[in-house]
Amino acid sequence: MPERKRVAVLADSDTRWKWGALTARRLVPDHQLTGFLLRGRATPTARQLGEVGVRADRLAEVTCAEFLAEIERERYDVVVLALVGGAVQAVLHGARALWPAPARRPVLVTGYVGVVYEKLADGLLLRHGADLVLANSRHDAQRFRAVYEGVGADAAAVTETALPFLGGAPYEPAGSRAHTVVFAVQPSVPDSRADRAYLLERAAGHARKHPDREVLIKLRSKPGEHTTHLEEQPYQRLAERIPGGLPPNCRLVYGNMGEVLDGTDLLVTVSSTAALESLHRSIPTAILTDLGIREALGNHHFLGSGCLASWDQLDSGLLPTGDPVWLAAQGVLPAPGPDRGTDGAADRAGDGATGWAGGGAAGADAYAVARAKVAGLLAATRLPSPAPYYTRTTAPGYLPGILARHHLAPDGTPLPGAVRPAAGESRLRRRLRGHLREVARGAYRHGVQRVAPVIRRLGEL
């Protein structure tokens, strides 16, 4: 029996952990998964990890330098970097310092957790140097290659796949159950208190206009927790300020998005990746235009989708459906089902990451090419040293600062003291350091969500 491949996933938030772990499952179906959480402001809490529902054989919190020491010490076959661009770049340069010549090293994989609507060139160039840079659709793959080729960098790593968490049963109308509207909120879109309060009031207003419907405000995190993006104005606190409170048929909910969508009849959002999950399942989906269609909101990504709508239109009964051509280009074809002539039961494996039809004709395996690439790299005796586009020659005023933020020298080696030896440290000392770290995180989050908004408002007086 072949030995199970060892896969390490390094993530810096709850959403990226979900993407990284499910991507690992797609790329290497039979594997031993070790999870690492990059220490920082968005390190997920135990509750957030539990809500995501993807478990690892082992899970540890590390710094970038500690992770590099880990992959040098332990032999991993594949490393999935589910991180922001700067952190990916730091790990790639650290790996280059570990393996400066062709060697037996892990296959390095990275990508994006959802819709890519801002900082395209910056984010992509910071990910260049990985063996595979995953694109969630044909549209993204074309854009990614254009960026790399535009700077004269090798674009061979760009590989078309799909979002690994697309799945779930195809939509079935409510029937006898209550019609359920889900407003999927985002931590930082929109960012102003007035805009967020407006959207919340419109959701509550929709519930008042339709007392036969249930309106759920789907939240990403609880106050004090952080996700991929900073949330200065939590909807929980805004709801407390609504005169008379939320109507009885409107409430705040948490939970796994896939499970929430199981009972959804209309998904409403500004630009959340949840819209792609909803469209994949053929659930009526609305991308809000109330605040305009703007790059800053990300809803411009959905031009041509057939889903752009306002709360006024939704109040009047509109149920938007996705345009098939747009869905195909975005790798979000409707889920297989009995009425579509395909077998919707195929590949139903774990955490809503079910068999899906993305990146081609219905029923196609969107990860087949990526899996083949990984298998080919694993079969190689040696792999070349990682070769990121950014070097001390191409970006001498940019790269050193990125590496320094992760306690790496300009050549990618850890700075003195970056890796703390575990040997000889007492359990009490480790617990004390962990407690102090949590206190510092709590103070930071309090400053973001409580102090910063007050200072900003005072500055506007």
Residue 385's pLDDT is 98
Q: What is the 3-state secondary structure (H, E, C) of the chain?
A: CCCCEEEEEEECCHHHHHHHHHHHHHHCCCEEEEEEEECCCCCCCHHHHHHHCCCCCEEEEECHHHHHHHHHHCCCCEEEEECCHHHHHHHHHHHHHHCCCCECCCEEEEECCCCCCCCHHHHHHHHECECEEEECCHHHHHHHHHHHHHCCCCCCCEEECCCCCCCCCCCCCCCCCCEEEEEECCCCCCCCHHHHHHHHHHHHHHHHHCCCEEEEEECCCCCCCCCCCCCCCCHHHHHHCCCCCCCCCEEEECCCHHHHHCCCCEEEECCCCHHHHHHHCCCCEEEECCCCCCCCCCHHHHCCCCCEECHHHHHCCCCCCCCHHHHHHCCCCCCCCHHHCCCCCCCCCCCCCCCCCCCCCCCCCCCHHHHHHHHHHHHCCCECCCCCCCCCCCCCCCHHHHHHHCCECCCCCECCCCCCCCCCCCHHHHHHHHHHHHHHHHHHHHHHHHHHHHHHHHHCC
Residue 176's pLDDT is 74
pTM: 0.84
Each residue's pLDDT expressed in tens, for the chain with a length of 461 residues = 578 999 999 999 888 999 999 999 999 998 999 999 999 876 787 777 877 777 888 899 999 999 999 999 999 999 999 999 999 999 999 999 999 999 999 999 999 998 898 899 999 999 999 999 999 999 999 999 999 999 999 999 999 999 999 989 999 987 777 899 999 999 889 999 999 999 999 999 999 999 999 999 999 876 655 555 556 788 999 999 999 999 999 999 998 899 999 999 999 999 999 999 999 999 999 999 999 999 999 999 999 999 999 999 999 999 999 999 999 999 897 655 544 443 333 333 333 333 344 444 334 689 999 999 999 999 999 999 999 999 999 999 999 999 999 999 999 999 998 886 655 556 566 556 555 555 555 555 555 555 555 565 566 55
Residue 350's pLDDT is 37
Residue 341's pLDDT is 40
Residue 316's pLDDT is 97
